[in-house]
Amino acid sequence: LAKIHYSSSKQSPNKFGWDRNGFIGLGPQPNGWEKNWGECFVRLRLKPQLEIATSWGLNIKSIEEPICSISKMLNDHNPAPSIVHGDLWSGNAATLNDGRGVIFDPATWWADREVDIAMTKLFGGFSDDFYKGYNDIWPLSRSFKARIDIYNFYHLLNHANLFGGYYKNQCKSVFNELKSSLT
């Protein structure tokens, strides 16, 4: 994964996004292009999911200021665009008999590579060896941990929009934490 992220960043289109609309699981993943990472993540990932979330009671009017803060924070981070898997959780990764890793069922786009690493921590996480191996090839920045909840908020919104239940409460809780930390 680190090799894919690194090599693709050296050949990137110097913008974030994708040419065609796609899916994240069964949820819509609208696409387009942005020069700035924060605008891309907010416009193409968070806002479409937030609009769907109004159907189950998430008040997006209270979200405007934190969303602007998220966009600014991600723009200030200024990552290199990399090809990312986009839906990397333990159910979309495996190890072959010869020990090589394999990933499947992607929701590919040009993004901050950290979106993949953040998602690996969402549903049970990956092994310590995975993170060590990744960092041996292309170390993550020390500030990465500050963006994990922001990146995973997108996936939680998608799950709340698809499956409801506990994910709705989890979204509200994460959003309130983000709101208090960003304002």
Catalytic residue set? 87
With tokens 């020990």, the residue in question is 99
Closest Cα partner for 178 from 95, 82, 65, 100?
65
Could you report how far apart the first and last alpha carbons of the chain are, in Å?
Answer: 34
Q: Where are the alpha helices (DSSP H) in 2-63?
A: 2-9, 37-40, 47-53
Task: Say if residue 92 is exposed, middle or buried (CB neighbours under 10 Å; 0-12, 13-18, 19+).
Answer: middle
Cα 31 from Cα 21, distance rounded (Å): 5
